[in-house]
Structure 1
Amino acid sequence: MSLPDVINHQDLLLSLNTNEEKVVKDALPGVDIYPLFLDVENGTWVLRAKFKPGVTLPKHFHTGVVHFYTLSGCWNYLEYPDQPQVAGSYLYEPGGSIHTFHCPEDSEGADGFMVVSGANINFDEDGNLMNIMDAGWIEQVVIAAAQSQGLVPRYFKPGGLAKLSTD
């Protein structure tokens, strides 16, 4: 057996180092974001996010799976107060799950890396639909916040608009 032909030749690795990239501060209220990979067509978003102490995100329903690795700090879901996520915790969230992210007020906040497929359907405190947070929504929010801070965020954005392979 021989090696396959190279389909996508690379002269260098596709890599970002968040220690060298500019963080987009308050991309969401109380959340600083390093966008890493935003694939609008396939609905995949990869972020490093820093959550400030006391941040509570809206209750949300996942249409796809989430992989979340906590790098530092502490957070929990309000629905699972006895299961805090701390540095080194890996959380798998199946599609169809619903919960409310929270960083305790008396914590240092939290820093995490996430890979999300699909969307978060966000609800207000009364259970009313607030918005749908998917890769396209995240991209728009991050770009707007970055521009207001004089930044141009760097992240991987695969492909392009759908088209026939013969175009």
Structure 2
Amino acid sequence: MALTAATHQPFLLTFNRHREGEIKDVVPGVHITPCFLDAEKGIWVIYARFEAGTVLPKHFHTGTVHFYTTAGSWNYVEYPDDVQTEGSYLFEPGGSVHTFSSKEGAEGFMVVEGSNVNFDENDNYLYIEDAGLIERVLHEVAKTTGQRMPRYIRPGRGAEFSE
């Protein structure tokens, strides 16, 4: 008996971030290539470039994060001695709280499950960042700045009955 796939793929879901490009300055100094955005399951996979001096808001993770640093260096303000450099892999459990900072600039690939709940420097709530918000913001920034929206993988939307 021949082995067959349970899910037929007429083509591979793959792209090259160098050819697809990125959305520049999604927030000042942060450039993002979306790879996979699934608002229903709360999963976002992105490649991000952070310019020197980037500091992001303090945030609480509702789910896990996998972050692989491909260039430069960065650390969490709360962990100044744990600097992530090229080749570093960081696992963050859900429930972690920290503030991203990169003095020299950094790049990396991240897989995030759930949301980031963002706070200002006085621990006041700012906003929730999830796959759906990221998708909307990327499209809006691309449209308003005249950038081409890179192609990315986006699973089907909406629940429906099976046949």
TM, length-normalised to structure 2: 0.95
User: Taking every aligned residue pair, what percent have the same amino acid on both sides?
Assistant: 55
In 1: Cα distance, 2:99 partner to 2:137 partner: 20
Asked if 2 retains the 8 angstrom alpha-carbon contact of 1:63 and 1:118, the reply is yes
Shift of 1:2: 5.4
CA distance in structure 1 between the partners assigned to 2:45 and 2:31 by the alignment: 14
Counterpart residue identity of residue 110, structure 1: A
Instruction: Give a deviation string over 1:67-123, Cα, whole Å, max 9, x none.
Output: 00000000000000011000000000000000000011xx1x100000000000000
The secondary structure found in structure 2 opposite 1:154 is coil
Q: Distance in 2 between matches of 1:16 and 1:81?
A: 35
How much does 1:13 deviate? 1.4
Which residue does the alignment assign to 1:33? 32
2:87 is the alignment partner of 1:124: no
- In the TM superposition, structure 1's runs of 4+ consecutive aligned residues that sit over 3 Å from their partners are none
Counting matched residue pairs gives 162
C-alpha distance in 2, partners of 1:132/1:164? 30
Which ranges of structure 1 fall in alignment gaps of 5 or more residues?
Answer: none
Give the 3-state SS of the residue equivalent to 2:17 in structure 1: coil
What is the match of residue 164 of structure 1?
161
SS of residue paired to 1:19: helix
Q: What's 1:142 paired with?
A: 138
**Superposition CA RMSD, Å:** 1.2
TM-score, scaled relative to structure 1: 0.93
Partner SS for 2:54: coil
Could you tell me which amino acid in structure 2 is paired with residue 164 of structure 1? F
SS in 1 for 2:143: helix
SS at match of 2:52: coil
Residues 1-167 of structure 1: matches in 2 within 5 Å?
A: 3=3, 5-104=4-103, 107=104, 109-150=105-146, 151-166=148-163
